[in-house]
Copies of this chain bind each other. A is one copy, B any other.
Amino acid sequence: MEPNDLFRKLIAFTASVHQVKHDFSKDLRLDDITPVQYAILEYLAVDQPVTLSEISDCLHMSMPNTSRELKKLGDKGLCEKFAVAGDRRKQAIRLSPEGQAMMDGVFAHYGSLFQARMQRFSPETRAEIERSLDVLQTHVFYTDRPKRNV
């Protein structure tokens, strides 16, 4: 196979993943949470705790806008800020118990939709899928980001 075909395939694959996630999230009831706010919550759910400037960097949004959206999330009781020992400028941010519960619900929703697709497969096929996930995540879809020190 030509290398170019592999890149094409990678591009088509990322488009598919994006599309499936979009479809899966369609019937998700996230009342009162905007897409950007959801992105922050999802980021927090993976990497906790984190500083405001890290969110700003990783989600490619400006500090003022990050600060604004984070305040809204705080007002909704979905995340919390607390001081960082050693640097009084910084503040660590993490999901509140309510925010964590909400994201657990979201992940359970995705999980059940994935489950519907996995059900019909044999244990061998599932194992193959899992190996494929590992291969792609370690070789292709990793994020190389400077390590943080919260």
Residues on A facing B (Cβ under 8 Å): 1, 3-4, 6-23, 26, 42, 46, 58-60, 107, 110-111, 114-115, 117-118, 121, 125-126, 128-133, 135-137, 139-143
Contact = CB atoms under 8 A, between A and B. Distances in A.
Given A22-B60, A131-B132, A139 B121 contact: yes
Contacts of A10: 110-111, 114, 133
Summarize A's interface: helix, strand, loop or mixed: helix
A110 B11 contact: yes
Contacts of A135: 128-129, 132
Given A6-B126, A11-B107, A114-B7, A20 B143 contact: yes
